[in-house]
Amino acid sequence: MSKGQQISENFYVRGDGTRAYYFSNEYLVDLFSKCGFTLEEICVHNKQVENRSLDLVMNRNWIQATFTLNSAGPQGLNGQHDLTDVCEGKEDKLVADSSEKKNSSEEIDLSEDFCNMFGASHNLDEVQIIGVKARGHDFKIKMLTKEYQHTCKLTGLMLWESAQLMCGLLAENPSIVAGKRVLELGCGSAGICSMVAASYAQFVVATDGDAESLDLLRQNISSNLESNLLDRIMIRKLFWGNKDDVRAVRELSGNDTGFNCIIGTDVTYNPDAILPLFKTARELISDKSDEDSRAAFILSYIQRRVDENSILSNAMAQGFRLVDKWINGVHDSNGIISSWFSGNDVCSAYRNITHSILYFEL
Ligand SMILES: C[S@@+](CC[C@H](N)C(=O)[O-])C[C@H]1O[C@@H](n2cnc3c(N)ncnc32)[C@H](O)[C@@H]1O
């Protein structure tokens, strides 16, 4: 992987936005021994995943280890450990047979299992402050430290690349939100798009379904926005599909009005959440056609487990029409989105990462 993809030592972001951390058996044993565990056995299983329809064989190494709790407690940084019980190279073979598997053309995705393994604990003391600059804006954002970012259930406590891209585009193109009633869905704790929008919009409602992300969002907004802009931004809990949440947010837009700009960055990664996401956007977007410009729903994302067709079919089912798209830099040169990139270098900062932007109207 290239230097640009490195987050810290042995820690990388892949092209699709997921993270990869590389470690040795010794490193793992050391981590456990520092926490008071003694190694019983450690094995490396070499699994071969074969996709017959694509004629691909992929090697996967899994470390499996047994530890016992040491009554003496943590050993500290110089704790000794014994690797004599190491058995290398147990082999398993897993065949993804096209005749047996429905999605045979896809590599088996085990990332969900990792989420479940690592997603349990977190602590808002584990935060760092990062600087985010976009034209005319210079934010200092509190977020979960890099070491804890692989706890992937906490997606709202991190700042994702799609938000940084959209934030850059909003700062370069204030007309996207100028004078509008703006809603951000799944905004997470950083809130950089909502904060940029607050400078130009009539008002902004920044929402997320996760209470902890909203707590950190409140801190980030109050420490970054000048007091005159604080009046223009509201922070609300909105879990997609939750009737009470949707009703309360709808009231903020003026009940029979709705929002005329809805933004969502990196909110299309969970297949189960796509339908409630679009249903919620449909209930909250303005359907007035007599305004100067039609209301827009803009999604910026890195494609992960949900493909473009699935996003588009859910959008259509809720009455959204795709007006323009920018997929990994491929776009209609006369389209709305390509105009956002002209005359600035927002795109170049994200060259190594495969981004998509979809622009919908009713
Ligand atoms: C990958 S993070 C993106 C955060 C932020 N938009 C960014 O780009 O940095 C996804 C966000 O969507 C929120 N989210 C996921 N499912 C949701 C749901 N069903 N309702 C409301 N928010 C949800 C998460 O809490 C999280 O903050």
State the average pLDDT over residues 73-80.
47
Mean pLDDT, residues 170-185 taken together: 97
> Which ligand 1 atom is nearest residue 166's CA?
8
Least confident interval from 60-74, 205-219, 308-322? 60-74
- Check residues 268 and 111 and name the one with the higher pLDDT: 268
Query: Phi, psi at residue 66, to the nearest 5°?
Result: -120, 130
Asked which of 66-70, 172-176, 224-228, 298-302 is least confident by mean pLDDT, the reply is: 66-70
Note the pLDDT of residue 8.
72
Shortest-distance atom of ligand 1 to CA 162: 8
d(CA 198, CA 86): 57
Task: State how far the Cα of 223 lies from the Cα of 55, in Å rounded to an integer.
Answer: 54
Q: How far is CA 151 from the centre of its chain?
A: 12
Q: How far apart are CA 134 and CA 125, in angstroms?
A: 27
pLDDT of residue 144: 81
Element (H, E) at 282: helix 274-284
Name the residue with higher pLDDT: 27 or 12. Answer: 27
Tell me, in angstroms, the distance from the centre of ligand 1 to residue 267's CA.
5
Q: How far is the CA of 260 from the centre of ligand 1 (A)?
A: 21
Quick one: CA torsion of 168, 169, 170, 171, rounded to 10 degrees? 50
Cα–Cα distance for residue pair 187/127, rounded to 1 Å: 18
Candidates 91, 95, 16, 94; CA nearest to 53 is 95
> Considering only CA atoms, which residue is closest to atom 12 of ligand 1?
186
The more confident residue out of 316 and 107 is: 316
Check whether 322 has a pLDDT greater than 60. Answer: yes
Tell me the CA–centroid distance for residue 297 and ligand 1, in Å. 16
Q: What stretch of H or E contains 224?
A: helix 211-224
DSSP state string for 180-238: -EEEEES-TTT-HHHHHHHTTSSEEEEEES-HHHHHHHHHHHHHHS-HHHHTTEEEEE-
Higher pLDDT, residue 257 or 318: 318
What is the whole-number distance in angstroms between the Cα of residue 79 and the centre of ligand 1? Answer: 40
**Sorting pLDDT into bands at 50, 70 and 90, what band is 333?**
confident
Ligand 1 atom nearest 190 alpha carbon: 9
Identify whether the C-beta of residue 69 lies closer than 8 Å to the C-beta of residue 36: yes
pLDDT of 100 strictly over 50: no
The DSSP bridge partners found for residue 48 are 59, 93
Q: How far, in Å, CA of 352 to CA of 354, rounded? A: 7
Across the chain, mean pLDDT equals 80
Q: Per-residue pLDDT tens for 101-152?
A: 334 333 433 333 333 333 334 455 577 899 999 999 999 999 887 656 554 4
CA of 83 to the centre of ligand 1 (A): 42
Query: What spacing in Å lies between the alpha carbon of 268 and ligand 1's midpoint?
Result: 9
Q: What is the mean predicted confidence (pLDDT) over 282-295?
A: 85
Contact 305, 16 (CB under 8 A): no
Task: Return the ligand 1 atom nearest residue 155 CA.
Answer: 2
Which of 115, 189, 210, 249 most suits a substitution to test ligand 1, by most atoms within 8 Å of the C-beta? 210
Checking DSSP bridges between strand 203-208 and strand 6-8, what pairing results, if any? unpaired
For residue 154, the CA-to-ligand 1 centroid distance in Å is: 9
Is the full-model pTM beyond 0.75?
Answer: no
- List, in order of start, the domains of the chain with CATH numbers: 3-108 (no CATH), 127-361 (3.40.50.150)
Ligand 1, pocket residues at CB < 6 Å: 155-156, 159-160, 162-163, 186-188, 190, 208-210, 213, 239-240, 265-267, 269, 273, 276
The DSSP secondary-structure symbol of 4 reads: G
b/e string for 87-99 if b means 16 or more Cβ within 10 A?
A: eeeeeeeeebeee
Cα 304 to ligand 1 centre (Å)? 14
pLDDT band (50, 70, 90) for residue 353: low
- Please compute the mean of the pLDDT values over residues 292-300 and round it to a whole number: 91
Comparison of pLDDT for 71 and 273, the residue scoring more: 273
The protein residue whose alpha carbon is closest to atom 6 in ligand 1 is 187
Atom of ligand 1 nearest to the CA of 192: 9
The residues that bridge with 185 in the sheet, in sequence order, are 264
d(CA 293, CA 232): 21
Q: Record the tokens describing residue 85, joined without a space.
A: 């019980």
Angle at CA of residue 71, ends 66 and 75, nearest 5°? 80
For residue 156, report the distance from its CA to the centre of ligand 1, in Å.
Answer: 5
Give residue 95's pLDDT: 36
Report whether pLDDT(267) > 80: yes
Confidence at 72, pLDDT banded by 50, 70, 90: low
Let me know: does 233 contact 195? Beta carbons within 8 Å: yes
Q: Is the pLDDT of residue 357 over 80?
A: yes
Checking if the pLDDT of 181 tops 90, the result is yes
Residues 262 and 296: beta-carbon distance below 8 Å? yes
pLDDT above 90 covers a percentage of the chain that reads: 48
- CA 189 / ligand 1 centre spacing (Å): 9
Residues 6+ apart with CB under 8 A from 123: none
Distances (CA, A) of 47 to 53, 55, 120, 124: 19, 16, 27, 37
Mean pLDDT throughout 56-70?
80
* CB-based contact 238:207 (threshold 8 Å): yes
- Report which of residues 288 and 215 the model is more confident about: 215
Q: What's the rounded Cα separation, in Å, for the pair 304 and 183?
A: 24
Residue closest by Cα to atom 24 of ligand 1? 156
Q: Is the pLDDT of residue 78 over 50?
A: no
Strands (E), 52-118: 56-69, 86-96
Q: Which two tokens stand for residue 176?
A: 């996207």
Distance of alpha carbon 15 from alpha carbon 295, whole angstroms: 32
Using DSSP's 3-state secondary structure scheme, residue 85 falls into coil
Q: What are the CA-CA distances from residue 280 to residues 213, 264, 301 (Å)?
A: 19, 12, 18
Substitution site in 207, 246, 267 for ligand 1 pocket (most atoms within 8 Å of beta carbon): 267
